[in-house]
């Protein structure tokens, strides 16, 4: 229970408005948040004075104000995801001797934001800013596996959506669905020479407060290295869970999405 109920209610209002596709009525807000109408109106008026919400009188609805946008823009300027993940990747790479990456989904691509590579290890193509087909990378599939199935179907409607690099990996929607279901149950994704000959990767997803996958942490090693994927997956899973915690997120059950 919060010791500052007004602040908690204001944050709940902001989060609720942020999750809606457009402005909502005060009565709808009161009902969905379980707040008395009188206290909600007072709260909305105070938030409007500070610019966090705005009242649309013709529609009799409330929406997010400019101040909420400014806070969101400031959050992005601080590069929070990279800042929170960088020390985790550095520690992971140092302790395992593997190359660690932070990746996100960008359409049907995995976009790499961070890379920590131990000294005297082979250079990989997965540098910062590089994009690779998500269905072939461990990072991409760990995120796809936790997206709503309808969203995955929209991204990969037919075989034309699939590209190939080494002759390995899913090449059709049914193959991808089967692989994602397996990796979702297992809790991590494994890629073996589907991106680059001679290298394999494991990855696990990190989540925001809605349980939505927002980024993936991965480890890449030469295939001849005597280490089991399960051992690396355990380390990756711990790092991804810690990033989820740092983001204030929650890890949803495997079958929730």
DSSP string, 91-157: HHHHHH-SEEEEEEEETTEEEEEEEE--TTS---S--TT-EEETTTSHHHHHHHTTS-HHHHHHH--
For residue 181, what are the CA distances in angstroms to 126, 147, 154, 174, 236?
A: 25, 11, 17, 11, 19
pLDDT at 110: 92
Q: Give the domain 5-75 fold.
A: Arc Repressor Mutant, subunit A (1.10.10)
Q: Which of 107, 10, 108, 3 is nearest to 53 (CA)?
A: 10
pTM strictly above 0.75: no
pLDDT at 138: 96
Place of tokens 């908690």: 8
What is d(CA 218, CA 124) in angstroms, rounded to the nearest whole number? Answer: 13
Of 5 and 207, more confident:
207
What is d(CA 161, CA 113) in angstroms, rounded to the nearest whole number? Answer: 24
- Res 205 pLDDT > 50: yes
Residues of the chain with CATH 3.30.450.40: 79-246
CATH number of 79-246, picked from 3.30.450.40, 3.60.60.10, 3.40.50.1820, 3.40.309.10: 3.30.450.40
- Res 9 pLDDT > 80: yes
pLDDT at 185: 92
At residue 20 the predicted structure's pLDDT band, cuts being 50, 70 and 90, is confident
Q: Which of 174, 248, 187 is nearest to 217 (CA)?
A: 187
Residues of the chain with CATH 1.10.10.10: 5-75
What is d(CA 4, CA 223) in angstroms, rounded to the nearest whole number? Answer: 54
pLDDT at 245: 95
Q: What is the mean pLDDT of residues 144-159?
A: 93
What is d(CA 1, CA 241) in angstroms, rounded to the nearest whole number? Answer: 25
pLDDT at 73: 62
Q: What is the mean pLDDT of residues 33-42?
A: 90
């Amino acid at each position: 229970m919060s010791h500052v109920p007004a602040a908690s209610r204001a944050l709940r209002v902001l989060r609720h408005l942020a999750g809606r596709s457009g402005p909502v009525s005060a009565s709808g807000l009161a009902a969905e948040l379980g707040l008395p109408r009188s206290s909600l109106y007072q709260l909305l008026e105070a938030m409007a004075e500070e610019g966090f919400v705005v009242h649309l009188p013709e529609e009799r609805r409330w929406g997010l104000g400019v101040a909420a946008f400014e806070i969101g823009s400031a959050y992005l300027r601080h590069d929070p995801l990279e800042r929170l993940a960088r020390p985790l990747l550095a520690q992971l790479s140092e302790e395992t001797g593997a190359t660690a990456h932070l990746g996100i989904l960008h359409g049907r691509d995995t976009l790499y934001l961070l890379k920590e590579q131990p000294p005297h290890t082979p250079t990989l193509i997965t540098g910062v800013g590089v994009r690779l087909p998500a269905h072939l990378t461990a990072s991409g599939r760990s995120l796809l596996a936790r997206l709503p199935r309808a969203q995955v179907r929209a991204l990969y409607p037919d075989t034309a959506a699939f590209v190939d690099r080494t002759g390995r990996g899913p090449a059709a929607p049914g193959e991808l669905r089967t692989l994602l279901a397996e990796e979702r149950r297992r809790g991590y994704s494994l890629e073996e020479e589907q991106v680059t000959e001679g290298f394999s990767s494991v990855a696990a997803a990190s989540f925001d407060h809605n349980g939505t996958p927002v980024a993936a942490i991965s480890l890449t090693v030469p295939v001849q290295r005597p280490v089991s994927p399960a051992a690396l997956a355990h380390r990756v899973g711990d790092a991804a869970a810690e990033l989820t915690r740092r983001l204030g997120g929650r890890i949803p059950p495997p079958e929730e999405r």
